[in-house]
A = this chain, B = another copy of it.
């Protein structure tokens, strides 16, 4: 008897600037997601993906991609069942590198739930999340209510890692993973 495959969750690091702290929060969240057990987990670092600014001549809904980097990015995103966007907040909005990666594709994102790990100052990055909700729903993703929002984020890090442990933060991650799993089940039905 075969075990049904677990759905695949991609944790996407939405910043690429030198000195970014998003990679530390992505690493921390990925560890919790693996322990959670509802998903196979994969980390996608947009700095490594290395897309240029949108350079496709056709609307992505046509799926007539002309560049190898777009075909590769399409294959990567297509294979996931759910996403978590690890998002900085720049000027109360989302980063260019994250928006660019979202805009490159269309149908690959559809009918999949999406959660957010945001970080910032007093607002914990939630202003970027709110703008992103208006974007991801346009791509037919379903944003989950549960969220991981990290205020005064620089103070949560020691030597580039999330430390010390913060039980409230861990719990918010677990609740978001529960909700992502619940919605993944619903959205995969025919």
A residues at B contact (CB < 8 Å): 16-19, 53-58, 90-97, 99-100, 102-103, 111, 122-124, 126-127, 130-131, 133-135, 137-140, 142-143, 145, 149, 151, 185-187, 189
**Are the C-beta atoms of B92 and A96 separated by less than 8 Å?**
no
Which residue from chain B places its CB closest to the CB of A148 in the assembled complex? B122
Residues of chain B within 8 A of A93, CB atoms compared: 94, 99, 131, 134-135, 138
Stoichiometry, copies per complex: 4
Selected contact of A134 from candidates B17, B95, B100, B127, CB within 8 Å: B127
Selected contact of A91 from candidates B18, B111, B126, B139, CB within 8 Å: B139
**Are the C-beta atoms of A99 and B96 separated by less than 8 Å?**
yes
Residues of chain B within 8 A of A139, CB atoms compared: 91
